[in-house]
Amino acid sequence: MNSIESLVRPNIRALCPYSTARDEYEGKLGIFLDANESPYPTGWNRYPDPHQKALKEQVAALKGVPAECIFLGNGSDEAIDLCFRIFCTPGEDNAIAIAPSYGMYAVAADINDIGMRQVPLGTDFSLPAEELLAAADAHTKLLFLCSPNNPSGNAFEPAELEALIRRFPGIVVVDEAYADFSAKGSLRERLPELPNLIIFQTLSKAYGLAGLRLGMAFASSYIIRLMSMVKYPYNINQSTQELVSRALQTPIADRVEETVAQRARVAAALPAFRCVKRVYPSDANFLLVQVDDADTLYTHLLADGIIVRNRSRVPGCAGCLRITIGLPSENDQLLQSLSAYEKGDIHR
Ligand code: PMP
């Protein structure tokens, strides 16, 4: 058994996965009497490809990762849950995550009855590599890192991440949901060197396809085979496969460039407001902003029809709102609403 295999739950190692009717034959077929589908064409009367072969080829070309190293899920949230189900025995194993970070790591751990060890980020949200290593024990199977991190917005140095991945005794997930907005890029090309690495990306952010639900995981073909065995057979529906395939033909560079420019513009404008105490540097499509009274400002913005994320009760984010970068006109409205707030024209 290699060291990655030894991290897999014994029942998953021994799993005989469900095989769909169409797994048994490859080639041109005309008459489908194998899957108890309706023969009447509604547009969706056939099951979708459970292996998403065509879409994976497209993602492989786009991301420079071989198709057998790609998992496609119903959002990254599916991939998060699969990691727990593949690697962690409920009531026995544990996982580690940086804190503050994306909330679903801890929720998925709770759902799966896996202990979650939260390790606070260092000064200025830096990567606490030694503390993360110290938190691991013989039952630690997973480490969740997020870069750029939600909600702090900063990306970690790729070399720092790689050094930690090499030293960590379990699987390391690096969630790169926001990597398209960061100059620090992705660890994708380091995958062949790092067998314990799983990278998450999503089409919900820079690609503008949150409504279609498509998350991607990149890892060794061994780990991807496990994820494919454990997922529901038809986890990506036909419409999503077709609509994503079409949407991927539209380049995202212009939209990403505008968002990054708007991020700089909003970040430069915010410190002029008295209520703003600190704007954290961001490599993502949002800004974490510390203000003097987060609840009152949040309520004021809501009354103006602007919803932001109140993170002020999250440990490490006292007094902070997380503000997504919108269209230029929406960012104008945000700044106007802040001006009104400063002038005392506030909604309570
Ligand atoms: N990862 C991070 C870091 C996120 O912030 C989010 C959404 N806020 C997700 C994953 C969710 O991605 P998806 O829409 O693909 O489930």
Q: Mean pLDDT of residues grouped by 10 in the chain (348 residues)?
A: 88 93 76 94 95 97 98 97 98 98 98 98 97 97 98 98 97 98 97 98 98 98 98 97 97 98 98 98 98 97 97 97 98 97 74
pLDDT for res 27: 73
Does residue 331's CB lie within 6 angstroms of at least one atom of ligand 1? no
Task: Give the amino acid at 43.
Answer: G
Could you tell me which CATH class the domain 4-247 is placed in?
alpha beta
Q: Residue 222: count other Cβ atoms within 10 Å of its Cβ.
A: 14
pLDDT for res 21: 79
- Is the distance from CB of 136 to CB of 168 less than 8 angstroms? yes
What Rg, from alpha-carbon coordinates, does the chain have? 22
Q: Residue 321: count other Cβ atoms within 10 Å of its Cβ.
A: 23
Does residue 134's CB lie within 6 angstroms of at least one atom of ligand 1? no
Q: What are phi and psi of 179, to 5 degrees?
A: -65, -25
- Is the distance from CB of 197 to CB of 172 less than 8 angstroms? yes
Does residue 76's CB lie within 6 angstroms of at least one atom of ligand 1? yes
Instruction: Give 211 Cα–ligand 1 centroid separation in angstroms.
Output: 12
Q: Which atom of ligand 1 is nearest to the CA of 178?
A: 3
Does residue 175's CB lie within 6 angstroms of at least one atom of ligand 1? yes
Q: At what angle do helices 253-269 and 328-342 cross, to 10 degrees?
A: 10
- Is the distance from CB of 125 to CB of 154 less than 8 angstroms? yes
Query: Biggest alpha carbon distance in the chain?
Result: 71
Q: Where are the domains of the chain?
A: 4-247, 253-342
Instruction: Give 229 Cα–ligand 1 centroid separation in angstroms.
Output: 23
Instruction: Give 173 Cα–ligand 1 centroid separation in angstroms.
Output: 13
pLDDT for res 344: 81
- CATH T-level topology, domain 253-342: Aspartate Aminotransferase, domain 1 (3.90.1150)
In order of 43, 44, 46, 71, 131, the CA distances from 36 in angstroms are 16, 14, 10, 27, 54
Q: Is the pTM of this model over 0.95?
A: yes
Does residue 204's CB lie within 6 angstroms of at least one atom of ligand 1? yes
**Nearest to 199, CA basis, from 182, 217, 213, 214:** 217
What are the counts of helices (DSSP H) followed by strands (DSSP E) for the chain? 11, 11
pLDDT for res 197: 98
Nearest protein Cα to ligand 1, atom 11: 76
Nearest protein Cα to ligand 1, atom 16: 75
